[in-house]
Amino acid sequence: MRVILISIFILCISSYSDTYKLLVVFPIPGKSHSILGNAFVRHLLNAGHEVTYITPIPMKDVNSKLRQINVESNRNYFAAEEVLDIQKLMRKEVDMKDMPTVFTMMFNIANATIHHENVQKVIHNPAEKFDAVIAEWMYSELYSGFSAVFNCPLIFFLSVSPHNMALSLIDQIPNPAYTADHVKSNSIPPFTFWTRVQELLTLFDWKIYRWWVNDRNIKSYDEAFKSAVTKRGRTLPPLDEIKYNASLIFGNSHISTADGVPLPRNLVEIGGYHISSNVEALPKDLKKILDEAKHGFIFFSMGSMLQSSKMPEEIKTGLIKIFSQLKQTVIWKFEVSLPDKPKNIFIIDWAPQQSILAHPNCVLFITHGGLLSTTEALHYKVPIIGIPMFADQFININRAVAKGIAKRVDLNYNTPTNLKLAIEEILENSSYRDRVNELSFVYHDRVISPGAEITRWVDHVIKTKGAPHLRSPALLVPWYQKLYLDLVFLIIIVVSVFYISIKRLIMKNRRDVTLSKKRS
Ligand SMILES: *[C@@H]1O[C@H](CO)[C@@H](O)[C@H](O)[C@H]1NC(C)=O
């Protein structure tokens, strides 16, 4: 038995023992994007690969196989603290659903990344070689140029759940009749008639803005990559061709946090891969507070990019008042100290979020509903109250509500009252806890861990030279053929011709009859 086990072990190790040189591009200067990028890189490093990591926020890890290319200046195009200001979001001064803003911001970041001198140095050095490029897709395909330079497979990474734009790159746009848009939808399927119409219109909206940036994209792509590819003796394929050449998309999602829409075979869901299997120890004083919370504790955090302290005074005071009436301890991620706070409220300016959620006394998580937070809540079986603020947070919370593990409370001057009701409902009604336990089973019930999926699929793509067998034939079929409009056209022609001929025949007959009558 032992011999068999050992040989299986050796076999497992040896089948993953190929080490590759990988270029990993996570260029968005936001905390949650860098959590995702860093975790991705760590999985690759642990598997023994050599990683070159293009990042605006370099990791502190020291590893001889890690080389970081600092594109810190990307922060010039996305000042998270300024853009994601709670009051501005409340007053709708910043609208992260406004597409010209989002597309312009994401174009600027992508454009700056590929033109950055540190990046240009790497692509213009013919000695640099990579086995695969993995790039975060955030409304831009400009990074596909790297795969042209290094003549290697391209893999995209998607930080949100799969949506029409990403899916259209490897397969086709999913049917809007039952697919909620990732940021613009306020419902989940099944839809009413009007929602269905809205979802269809949303698709056109996205299309229009993608056309709108396309010229800028092509220009930027040519400028950044042409000379590097020419230097290597090849010609640069057009952007509109290479952007459809990704071998695979890794999605930071899982069926437990999504609607059950069908996905193409080369969309690999790895939601939860950023959660490490060994929970980091809590700081001593915080651990003591959590251990001693005999009625349990509520964890309240608006995430790494939003600051609760920026909420309007009136709401803050209201929140403190309702929290002080609870018998539970409240751990609040708040950036400044609160004078005269009630004794069941504890302020922390930085939160080891996973370790807090993992604590057995955690009874409720009040969150902005970022996908990392909702995934972590599911991982550690904690029910949620969501206060969504921007991007995919609305749909994440709507889905969690529909799955019975959450309540949604919007941020406005009634928030304290509504939050109080929601807290009572979740703590008194055991169905939320039961559902979160069931759904957490779905989340954990996977054949291999999401981190192992990463190394497995990177290996698969490289060994199969871009995994052409996974490619969807839908990519090769124009839209009018998918909708059978050519058939409809043909039927219209045939029916018309038939109708006209019959009509002519009848007319002719009548004429013949009247003629013959006249003659007689
Ligand atoms: C598309 O990807 C495949 C596999 O990675 C590669 O062999 C091919 O050259 C790529 N095509 C273009 C136009 O880049």
Query: Hey, what CATH topology would domain 284-444 get?
Result: Rossmann fold (3.40.50)
Within this chain, domains 18-275+449-476 and 284-444 share the same CATH topology: yes
Q: Measured between alpha carbons, how far is 344 from 326 in angstroms, rounded to an integer?
A: 8
Q: Is 189 in the pocket of ligand 1 (CB under 6 A)?
A: no
Q: Measured between alpha carbons, how far is 14 from 8 in angstroms, rounded to an integer?
A: 10
Q: Measured between alpha carbons, how far is 3 from 372 in angstroms, rounded to an integer?
A: 41
Burial of 410 (0-12, 13-18, 19+ CB in 10 A): middle
**Residue 131 in 3-state DSSP?**
coil
Amino acid found at 193: F
Strand partners, 154: 133
Closest alpha carbon to 145 in 113, 114, 106, 112: 114
Q: How far is the CA of 153 from the centre of ligand 1 (A)?
A: 7
Output the CA–CA distances (angstroms, integers) from residue 291 to 127, 132, 356, 427, 516, in the order listed: 55, 46, 11, 19, 108
Closest alpha carbon to 84 in 95, 73, 97, 72: 95
Name 314's Cβ contacts closer than 8 Å, sequence gap at least 6: 413
Q: Measured between alpha carbons, how far is 313 from 294 in angstroms, rounded to an integer?
A: 30
Q: Return per-residue pLDDT of the chain as tens, 520 residues.
A: 565 655 555 555 545 568 999 999 999 999 999 999 999 999 999 999 999 999 999 999 889 999 999 999 999 888 666 677 888 888 777 766 677 888 899 999 999 999 999 999 999 999 999 999 999 999 999 999 999 999 999 999 999 999 999 999 999 999 999 999 998 898 999 999 999 999 999 999 999 988 999 999 999 999 999 999 999 999 999 999 999 999 999 999 999 999 888 999 999 999 999 999 889 999 999 999 999 999 999 999 998 888 888 889 999 999 999 999 999 999 999 888 887 789 999 999 887 899 999 999 999 999 999 999 999 999 999 999 999 998 899 999 999 999 999 999 999 999 999 999 999 999 999 999 999 999 999 999 999 999 999 999 999 999 999 999 999 999 999 999 999 999 999 999 999 999 999 999 999 988 888 878 777 6
Q: Is 304 in the pocket of ligand 1 (CB under 6 A)?
A: no
Burial of 301 (0-12, 13-18, 19+ CB in 10 A): buried
For 392, how many CA atoms within 13 A lie in the half-sphere containing its CB?
A: 23
Encoded tokens for 291? 């251990």
Q: How far is the CA of 172 from the centre of ligand 1 (A)?
A: 19
Q: Measured between alpha carbons, how far is 220 from 235 in angstroms, rounded to an integer?
A: 16
Q: How far is the CA of 125 from the centre of ligand 1 (A)?
A: 21
Q: Is 466 in the pocket of ligand 1 (CB under 6 A)?
A: yes
**Which residue's CA is minimally distant from atom 12 of ligand 1?**
242
Q: Measured between alpha carbons, how far is 223 from 239 in angstroms, rounded to an integer?
A: 12
Asked if the peptide bond before residue 190 counts as cis, ω within 30 degrees of 0, the response is yes
pLDDT tens-digit readout, 223-262: 999 999 999 999 999 999 999 999 999 999 999 999 888 9
Q: Is 467 in the pocket of ligand 1 (CB under 6 A)?
A: no
Q: State which ligand 1 atom lies nearest to the alpha carbon of 147.
A: 14
C-alpha angle 439/422/435, rounded to 5°? 15
- Listing from the earlier edge strand, what are the strands of the sheet with 329-333? 345-348, 329-333, 297-301, 362-367, 384-386, 406-408
Provide the whole-model pTM: 0.91
**Which residue's CA is minimally distant from atom 10 of ligand 1?**
245
Using the CB atoms, write b or e for 113-136: b if 16+ within 10 Å.
bbebeebeebbeeeebebbbbbbb
Q: Measured between alpha carbons, how far is 289 from 341 in angstroms, rounded to an integer?
A: 16
Q: Measured between alpha carbons, how far is 143 from 158 in angstroms, rounded to an integer?
A: 13
Pocket test for ligand 1, best of 245, 458, 460, 463 (most atoms within 8 A of CB): 245
Q: State which ligand 1 atom lies nearest to the alpha carbon of 247.
A: 5
- Cβ atoms of 370 and 384 closer than 8 Å: no
**Which residue's CA is minimally distant from atom 9 of ligand 1?**
151
Q: Measured between alpha carbons, how far is 180 from 102 in angstroms, rounded to an integer?
A: 19
Q: Is 242 in the pocket of ligand 1 (CB under 6 A)?
A: yes
Q: Is 61 in the pocket of ligand 1 (CB under 6 A)?
A: no
Checking DSSP bridges between strand 345-348 and strand 50-55, what pairing results, if any? unpaired
Q: State which ligand 1 atom lies nearest to the alpha carbon of 468.
A: 4
Q: Measured between alpha carbons, how far is 367 from 365 in angstroms, rounded to an integer?
A: 6
Burial of 4 (0-12, 13-18, 19+ CB in 10 A): exposed
Q: State which ligand 1 atom lies nearest to the alpha carbon of 461.
A: 5
Maximum pairwise Cα distance, the chain: 117
pLDDT of res. 517: 78
pLDDT of res. 7: 57
CA 7 to the chain's CA centroid:
39
List phi, psi (to 5°) of 348: -125, 140
Q: Measured between alpha carbons, how far is 430 from 52 in angstroms, rounded to an integer?
A: 48
For 189, how many CA atoms within 13 A lie in the half-sphere containing its CB?
A: 16
SS (H, E, C) 470-503: HCCHHHHCCHHHHCCHHHHHHHHHHHHHHHHHHH
Q: How far is the CA of 340 from the centre of ligand 1 (A)?
A: 63
Encoded tokens for 286? 């915080």
Q: What is the CATH number of domain 18-275+449-476?
A: 3.40.50.2000
pLDDT tens-digit readout, 41-93: 999 999 999 999 999 999 998 899 999 999 999 998 886 666 778 888 887 77
**Residue 366 in 3-state DSSP?**
strand
Contacts for 322-325: CB closer than 8 Å, 24+ residues apart: 322/416, 322/417, 322/419, 322/420, 322/423, 323/298, 325/420
Q: Measured between alpha carbons, how far is 205 from 228 in angstroms, rounded to an integer?
A: 35
Q: How far is the CA of 471 from the centre of ligand 1 (A)?
A: 12
Q: Is 386 in the pocket of ligand 1 (CB under 6 A)?
A: no
Closest alpha carbon to 54 in 159, 156, 136: 136
Q: How far is the CA of 254 from the centre of ligand 1 (A)?
A: 28
Give the DSSP per-residue string, 390-429: STTHHHHHHHHHHTTSEEE---STTHHHHHHHHHHHHHH-
Question: Which residue do the tokens 């055991």 mark?
Answer: 430
Spell out the domain ranges in the chain. Answer: 18-275+449-476, 284-444, 488-519
**Which residue's CA is minimally distant from atom 3 of ligand 1?**
466
Closest alpha carbon to 426 in 290, 291, 299, 287: 299
Q: Is 241 in the pocket of ligand 1 (CB under 6 A)?
A: yes
Pocket test for ligand 1, best of 147, 249, 458, 460 (most atoms within 8 A of CB): 147
Q: Is 237 in the pocket of ligand 1 (CB under 6 A)?
A: yes
